[in-house]
Structure 1
Amino acid sequence: MKLKRFLLRYYPPGITLEYEQSQETKSKTIDLLDLTPESDLDEIVDDLTTEEPLRSLVASRKDQVKKLLTKLQQKLSQQDHRFYLFKVLRAHILPLTNVAFNKSGSRFITGSYDRTCKVWDTSSGEELVTLEGHKNVVYAIAFNNPYGDKIATGSFDKTCKLWNAESGRCYHTFKGHTAEIVCLTFNPHSTLVVTGSMDSTARIWDVKSGSEITTLSGHTAEIISLNFNSSGTSLLTGSFDHTVNVWDVTTGRCIHTLIGHQLEISNAVFNYDGKLIATGSMDRTCKLWDATTGKCLSTFRGHQDEVLDITFDSTGQFLVTSSADGTGRVYSAMTRELISKLEGHTGEISKVVFNSQGTRILTASTDKTARLWDPTSGQCVQVLEGHSDEIFSCAFNYEGNTIITGSKDNTCRLWR
């Protein structure tokens, strides 16, 4: 067994070992989800050498591993900065629907009621290419992160299109849905695209061939959210029928139906290691589920209005909810305790995201502002003002040093 190289993963922290065994290249990723700037690195290195193949690969390179862990610690301890308005982009002639970054944050895309998706250069604010061809609203958009060389667009014209992110060439048009497509996602390996529709089905498509692999049927109302686990083996579909289905991606079989919410689902997400599922609902609650058994572990109550969005931090240890009551709530996914309340918006919060480091939460609101929060204290650390209409979408880039906000005022704003 011969070690070839170490690869660092900053968010969530981890190390991948590439090694050769029997003339075959293999890899093993070590998740370091509990790593903090205060962690004892010698203790972690010792723990890494307790099991094979790590013992034989790492034991003689403890100093090298410690240096890598030090780099991870330094990345985690980088100070958060204040953001300033960098660019205002009048992106489309009709209202925007969604915005999304590629992984590096060097480019972002915007979807619109004008039936197009546009690709933009983040550093210059220059429009790079317009993706034209849909016959109705382009509602759902995504890069195939981490690669970023393809874009998928889902439309009210009932089709999804796959594009070359550089040239704008359309590779495939996925046809089969009988109603509007309202959500889509790539699997982590970028070999599949999944679309969710108001026809109550989700469909899995092959990126290379453009053919449909399977139709996921079982819901009785529109599917409005899709989420893969990090390995790409399981898929969540959240529906207005009040349920979430957990699917085996290889077989297309429904493994669990998560039943318990009293009203429509707003979002459903896996945590990083895929052991937990969080669901948000119009019934004002968020629920935490065991992904293996489908059992409900906890119900988080307290919001005075619909829960509109939920997300985990990159390590999967913290969960944040946002609500039409204008507040957010941060919970520990491990202890199920309420950590903090995010109070300050004067309108509903439609979108909430963590930065990759887990040190800041970003919220988008109908009060025309986006806000940055400290997740531990719940303190609002900055208000991003300037939009003249409600903000419906927001995103961090991977490094957490650039923000995009999309508004009904037909503009995107870049903050750095």
Structure 2
Amino acid sequence: MKLKRFLLRYYPPGILLEYIQSNELRAKSIDLLSLEPETDTETLLDSIASQEPLISNSRKPQVRKLIEKLKEKLNEPTPDNFYLYKVLGAHLLPLTNTSFNKAGDKFITGSYDRTCKVWDTVTGEELMTLEGHQNVVYCIAFNIPYGDRIITGSFDRTARIWDVATGECLHILSGHTQEIVCVAFNPSGTIAATGSLDMTVRLWDVETGLLVHTLSGHTSEVVSIDFDTRGDRIVTGSFDHTARLWDVSTGECLHTLQGHTGEVTSATFDYSGDLVLTASSDGSCRLWSVDVGHCAKSVTDHEDEVLDARFNWTGAMFASVGMDGLGYVYDTATGAKLGVLEGHSGEVSRLMFSPQGTRVITASIDNTCRIWSVEPGDVGRCVQVLEGHSDEIFTCLYNYAGDTIITGSKDNTCRVWKA
């Protein structure tokens, strides 16, 4: 093995190693999830070097500098007081979804007008329009961290993979018999997943566009898909009241996560891949052990359907939002409620933790987004209300640095907010 270069990952903290083995470029990560500004650099450096053969004595000075950079980043204050930077009249018909690339210099929007558009975040310039779908473009994603491919899923029952540099459609992924409503890339960008109202998930080879596996077993619509950090497993959430864990390499169903009494609206892994968090229309969220497929904890504070639930990057806490207009923040280890996000005047459909993990942003049908503190001793304080949309907001996203927010609305616009 020959080390080629180091890459930094700020959130969650880590160092990525690119190396050559058997004439192939490969990558591995050194996760530093417990890193704190007070961490002793030399002790950590010695520990890393003792466990990683690629870190020779000659490479230690580089790694030392990277650790110090990560510690400096953790010490940076969380951005507050976002201002409206750009208003983009993105599409002729309402938007459906938005997504940033890793660098945050580009984002994409999908729409009922059957297109996906690629935008320059800084200038607000429309870089290209991806055309070809015959119905609503409902779900979209970049292949993070690379950002050179986009997948779009449509009500026309196909997905498409696009080249970001040229806008060329590289593959049309056909085979679903109903609308596609969720898409995702695995972390290495080699496999794309599409989930459909036809009750199946399909896994596709990104390079060739060929079908790898069809994941069958759900008895109702599949509305949520998420790969774990290693890309070995995928979790799917369905209106059949269950989530399922699958082996990506074989397509085998490893566990069926049963217990909800209503539709599962979202299902996601924590960063470690050891836990899955599900949200349901039964008003509850559940934490599941991935290894055994058993429910570890259930929280039931919402008085109506839970529409979204997410972990922060450490997995130490999670938050949920729902039709009751409220959000809740919980301690993952104990299931204890840490705070309430109260202030929206209508249904809250989306949430996202800031990359730093100290803020949560929520999107509501009351035409606003709200930014909330989730810092110890301050959980649930509304830091800022983002106003100006004239219709319900269905999506809200932080960029990778946490200093830019995109909000997308049924008023046909998206807004770019800067700290």
TM-score normalised by structure 2 residue count: 0.93
Relative to 1, partners in 2 of residues 1:387 and 1:27: Cα closer, same or farther, differing over 3 Å?
closer
How far apart are the structure 1 equivalents of 2:271 and 2:234? Answer: 13
1:266-277 equivalences under 5 Å are 266-277=265-276
Equivalent residue number for residue 237 of structure 2: 238
Superposition deviation, residue 28 in structure 1: 5.0
Could you say what secondary structure the match of 1:71 adopts?
helix
Q: Structure 1 regions of 5+ residues with no counterpart?
A: none
Query: 1:74 is matched with which residue: 66, 72, 75?
Result: 72
Query: After the TM superposition, which residues 205-284 of structure 1 pair with which residues of structure 2 at under 5 Å, given as runs?
Result: 205-284=204-283
User: Is 1:267–1:280's contact at 8 Å kept on the other side of the alignment?
Assistant: yes
Classify 1:348/1:186 alpha carbon distance in 2 versus 1 (closer, same or farther; 3 Å). Answer: same
Q: Distance in 1 between matches of 2:300 and 2:129?
A: 43
Q: Displacement of 1:21 after TM fit?
A: 8.9
Match of 2:392 in 1: 390
Q: Please say which of residues 335-344 and 237-246 is displaced more in the overlay.
A: 335-344
Compared CA separation, residues 48 and 158, structure 1 to 2 (3 A): same
Query: In the aligned structure 2, how far is the partner of 1:111 from the partner of 1:369?
Result: 20
Q: Distance in 1 between matches of 2:56 and 2:333?
A: 30
Report matched runs for 1:363-378 at 5 Å. 363-376=362-375, 377=378, 378=380
The offset of 1:38, in angstroms, is 3.3
Q: Which amino acid aligns with 2:96?
A: T
Retained in 2: the 8 A contact 1:19–1:26? yes
Gaps of 5+ in 2: none
Match of 1:324 in 2: 323
Alignment of 1:131-142 (within 5 A): 131-142=130-141
AA at the equivalent of 1:15: I
* Residue in structure 2 matched with residue 48 of structure 1 by the alignment: 48
Contact between 2:78 and 2:356, CA under 8 Å: does it hold in 1? no
Q: Percent identity?
A: 57
Structure 2 partner of 1:160:
159
TM-score (norm 1): 0.94
Q: Which is worse superposed, 40-49 or 357-366? A: 40-49
Secondary structure in 1 aligned to 2:69? helix
Give CA deviations for 1:60-119 in whole Å, capped at 9, x if unaligned.
766654432221111112122321001111111111110111111111111111111111
Q: What is the count of residue pairs matched by the alignment?
A: 414
Tell me how large the CA RMSD over aligned residues is: 2.1
Structure 1 residue 344 displacement after superposition: 1.2
Contact 2:195 2:224 in 1 (8 A): yes
Contact 1:48/1:58, CA 8 A, preserved across alignment = no
Question: What amino acid sits opposite 1:30 in the alignment?
Answer: I
**Letter of the 1:405 counterpart:** T
Report if the CA contact (8 A) 1:111-1:117 is conserved: yes
- The residue type paired with residue 140 of structure 1 is C
Corresponding residue number in structure 1 for 2:345:
346
Matched, 1:96 2:95: yes
* Counterpart Cα distance in 2 of 1:279 and 1:157: 28
The residue identity in structure 1 corresponding to 2:12 is: P
User: Any conservation in 1 of the 2:139–2:153 contact (CA below 8 Å)?
Assistant: yes
Instruction: Please give the alpha-carbon distance, in whole angstroms, between the structure 2 residues aligned to 1:165 and 1:252.
Output: 29
* AA aligned opposite 1:230: T
Structure 1 counterpart SS, 2:35: coil
Give 1:409's aligned residue.
Answer: 411
- Distance in 1 (CA, whole Å) between partners of 2:156 and 2:23 is 50
